[in-house]
Homo-oligomer: A and B are copies of this chain.
Amino acid sequence: MKAWNLISLAEARRLAIDALAAAPRQTEQVGLRQALGRIAACDMVNTEDNPAFDRSTVDGYAVRSEDLAPASATSPATLRLVGEVRMGRGYGEKISTGEAVRIPTGGMLPDGADAVLMQEYTAAGPAGTVLAGRSVVRRENMVVRGDDVTAGAVLLAAGSKIGVPDLGVLASCGFACVPVIKKPVVTVVTTGDEIIPPESTPLPGQIRDVNSFTLAALAELAGCEVIQAERVADSQEGLTAVLQAALATSDLILVSGGSSVGDRDYTTVAVESLPGAKTLFHGVALKPGKPTLLAMVGHTALFGIPGHTVAAMTVFHEIVKPALAARQGMSVDDGHFVIQARLGTELRPDAERDEIFRVRLEQTESGVIAWPLPAKSGLVTVMTRAHGMIYLPAGHTKLQAGDPVDVQLLVERLGGNWQGRVR
C-alpha cells in the first residue's frame, strides 16, 4: 500500500484557493430579476445622485423654513397656498417668501422650498391660505438629492454576492442588467462497485449513493451549475473515460470515493493518468477527510473526495467551498458564520490530524451548549443532527466540558432547523 504524504488542512486549502483563483473567469449579463445570489463581475458604480431631487417624506406643505420661524400652535403663521405638487412631476415654479405648496409623501420639492411641514400641524386659513402651527428646521421631513447615494459611489464591489437589498439599490440607481460571474460548472462523479442509485433495492453488500446528492446540493448552494454524472464502477478505464468527458465541460470535477491508497482506489491513478494532470496534494492531515486529492488539468480542478458521507461534506466545507469562492472571484467565502458556545462534554484532540467535530447546539439559560456528535464512519443521519462544526488543531490540549469553543454554523442547515437563540 502506497504511503500517505499528508499536508495540513490550512496548506491544502491555500493550494486549492490559489489554484482556482488563478483560473480565468467568464462573465455574463443577467437581468436584475435573475441576479439574486450571483457574484458581481465588476464594481457597480453609481452614475447619478440618488434621489435625483429633493423629496418629501411626509404628506404636508413644502415651505421656506425661515417663514415659519415664529410659528406656534397658539400663534400660527399664515402662508399663501400657491399650488400642489403632483406625484411623478416637477412643480415647475419657484416658491417665494410666504408661500406654501401642498406636497404628498415622495413628491419633489419645488425650487425655493427647503422643508416640509406635516399636514397634522396645519389648518385651512382664510381663502387661499394655510395656517402653519409650528416651525420647521431646514431639511425637515425631506431627503435631499444624493442623500441615499451620490454619483460616483460604488454600489457593489466586484466579487460581492448580490443579496436582496443590493437588488433594491441597483434598481433604484438604474441598473436593469448586472454583469456577473458565469456559474462554474461542476461535475459530480461517484465511484464504487457497491454503490447503487436511490431507487434500487440493495443486494447484500450494496449501499445507495448519497454523496452525489449531497455534493451536488452543496455545489449548487455555492453558486455552481451542477452536472451529476453516471455512477462509475471501480475500474481505472471506466473512471478515466468519465473524467475525460467531464473535462470538456467542467470547471471543477468532484470524484466521490476511490481517493484513498487501497487496491481498489482507482481515483488517484485515473486522475494522474490524464494528460497534463498536475497533482497539488493527495492526503490531508484532517479527520475526517484524509483521502482528499486535488489535481489540475489546465484550469479544471479535479477533487478526489472521501467516500464517507460525513467526511465528504467536511472536505467540501473546509476545502472545496473556499476554493469555489476563489474561482468566482468572491471577495470573501460565503456564509461563513461562527458563534461561540460551551462544550457539553470533554473532547480529546487527535495528536497528528486537525479534526472537525460535528456538534448539535442546545440553548440553555446560561448560553449555547455544543454537543459533539458520534463520528462513527458512514452514518448518514449524523449530518441531519448537526447544527455546526468545531475545528480542533492537531495536538491541541484536551478540552473539558464547559470550555468555550467556536462553532461554524452549517448554513445549509439553518433553514427551519435551529430556532435557538445565540447569546
Is A338 part of the binding interface, using a Cβ–Cβ cutoff of 8 Å?
A: yes
Is A74 part of the binding interface, using a Cβ–Cβ cutoff of 8 Å?
A: no
Q: A108 touches which one: B89, B161, B171, B204 (CB < 8 A)?
A: B204
Q: A176 touches which one: B165, B199, B423 (CB < 8 A)?
A: B199
- Whether B87 lies near A264 (C-beta < 8 A) is yes
- Whether B213 lies near A168 (C-beta < 8 A) is yes
- Whether B55 lies near A193 (C-beta < 8 A) is no
- Closest Cβ of chain B to A176, distance in Å, is 4
* Complex CA–CA separation, A200 to B171 (angstroms): 10
- Closest Cβ of chain B to A249, distance in Å, is 18
- Whether A412 lies near B163 (C-beta < 8 A) is yes
- Whether B380 lies near A168 (C-beta < 8 A) is yes
Is A400 part of the binding interface, using a Cβ–Cβ cutoff of 8 Å?
A: no
What residues on B are CB-neighbors of A383 within 8 Å? 164-165, 168-169
**Segment 385-409 of A: residues with Cβ below 8 Å from B:** 386, 406
* Complex CA–CA separation, A216 to B263 (angstroms): 53
* Complex CA–CA separation, A24 to B87 (angstroms): 41
- Whether A165 lies near B206 (C-beta < 8 A) is no
- Whether B384 lies near A169 (C-beta < 8 A) is yes
What residues on B are CB-neighbors of A148 within 8 Å? 378-381
* Complex CA–CA separation, A197 to B32 (angstroms): 11
- Whether A172 lies near B208 (C-beta < 8 A) is yes
Q: A147 touches which one: B228, B376, B406, B415 (CB < 8 A)?
A: B376
Is A184 part of the binding interface, using a Cβ–Cβ cutoff of 8 Å?
A: no
Task: Return 27 A-B CB contacts under 8 Å, by A number.
Answer: A55-B378, A104-B262, A104-B264, A105-B262, A105-B377, A106-B194, A106-B307, A161-B416, A163-B412, A164-B313, A165-B380, A165-B386, A168-B210, A168-B313, A168-B380, A170-B198, A171-B213, A171-B214, A172-B210, A172-B380, A173-B208, A337-B414, A338-B421, A339-B421, A340-B421, A411-B414, A422-B422
* Complex CA–CA separation, A381 to B51 (angstroms): 11
Known: A59-B262, A339-B421, A380-B169. A204 touches B33 (CB 8 A): no
Dominant SS at the A interface? Answer: loop
Residue from A163, A379, A406, A415 with most neighbouring chain B CB atoms (10 Å): A415
- Whether A416 lies near B160 (C-beta < 8 A) is yes
Number of chain A interface residues as a range: 35 or more
- Closest Cβ of chain B to A273, distance in Å, is 22
Is A366 part of the binding interface, using a Cβ–Cβ cutoff of 8 Å?
A: no
Is A53 part of the binding interface, using a Cβ–Cβ cutoff of 8 Å?
A: yes
* Complex CA–CA separation, A221 to B105 (angstroms): 30
Q: How many copies are assembled?
A: 2
* Complex CA–CA separation, A107 to B377 (angstroms): 13
The stretch of A75-83, A292-300, A326-334 in contact with B is A326-334
- Whether B413 lies near A163 (C-beta < 8 A) is yes
- Whether A214 lies near B143 (C-beta < 8 A) is no
**Segment 332-362 of A: residues with Cβ below 8 Å from B:** 332-340
* Complex CA–CA separation, A378 to B217 (angstroms): 37
- Closest Cβ of chain B to A260, distance in Å, is 8
Is A112 part of the binding interface, using a Cβ–Cβ cutoff of 8 Å?
A: no
Interface string of A23-60 (1 = CB under 8 A from B): 00000000011001100000000000011110101110
> What residue of chain B has the Cβ atom nearest to residue A141's Cβ?
B377
Is A201 part of the binding interface, using a Cβ–Cβ cutoff of 8 Å?
A: yes
- Whether B171 lies near A210 (C-beta < 8 A) is yes
Known: A143-B379, A172-B208, A416-B332. A218 touches B107 (CB 8 A): no
- Closest Cβ of chain B to A342, distance in Å, is 12
* Complex CA–CA separation, A261 to B176 (angstroms): 32
Which 5 A-B pairs give the minimum distances between C-beta atoms?
Answer: A90-B204, A88-B194, A165-B383, A176-B199, A108-B205
Known: A166-B384, A172-B380. A205 touches B419 (CB 8 A): no
Q: A220 touches which one: B36, B52, B377 (CB < 8 A)?
A: B36
- Closest Cβ of chain B to A45, distance in Å, is 14
Is A251 part of the binding interface, using a Cβ–Cβ cutoff of 8 Å?
A: no
Is A234 part of the binding interface, using a Cβ–Cβ cutoff of 8 Å?
A: yes
